[in-house]
Amino acid sequence: MATSKQAAKRLTVIAESWKRDPFRPNIQLQTFLKSLAQHPKLTDQTVDAVRALRDGDMQKKYELSFKTLHPPSAPMHYDRLVEGVEKSAQGIKRSWWKVFFGIW
């Protein structure tokens, strides 16, 4: 079992490697994780949980099927959602007429 200082150091490294949220520049998970590293009762389990969250371990362990990601009612829904988030992060907007007519 690592000491609290070692756990704090590991959590700080994980926090620094976390991607910044472009949609909420004033609220970053990195800031919370760095302050959590200073908590006196920080455990190895907490650090391992944060690492698993960053690395997407559960997403790899429980992959979503094609059927789940492409439901018959809206087969392109999740693809469009991901595309919209990526373009929004780059500052690219859909034109007003595409929004009005629901065209992608």
10-21: per-residue pLDDT in tens? 999 999 999 998
Rounded to whole angstroms, what are the CA distances from 14 to 9, 43, 52? 9, 14, 10
Query: Is the domain of 38 the same as that of 87?
Result: no
At how many degrees (to 10) do helices 29-36 and 4-17 cross? 170
Nearest to 80 by CA among 59, 56, 103, 63: 103
Question: What does the pLDDT read at residue 37?
Answer: 95
pLDDT per residue as tens digits for the range 87-104 = 998 999 988 998 899 887
**pLDDT < 50 regions, the chain:** none
The parent domain of residue 26 ranges over 1-63
Question: What does the pLDDT read at residue 22?
Answer: 87
Question: What does the pLDDT read at residue 49?
Answer: 96
Question: What does the pLDDT read at residue 15?
Answer: 95
Number of domains composing the chain? 2
Chain centroid to CA 29? 9
Query: Is the domain of 94 the same as that of 45?
Result: no
Query: Is the domain of 38 the same as that of 68?
Result: no
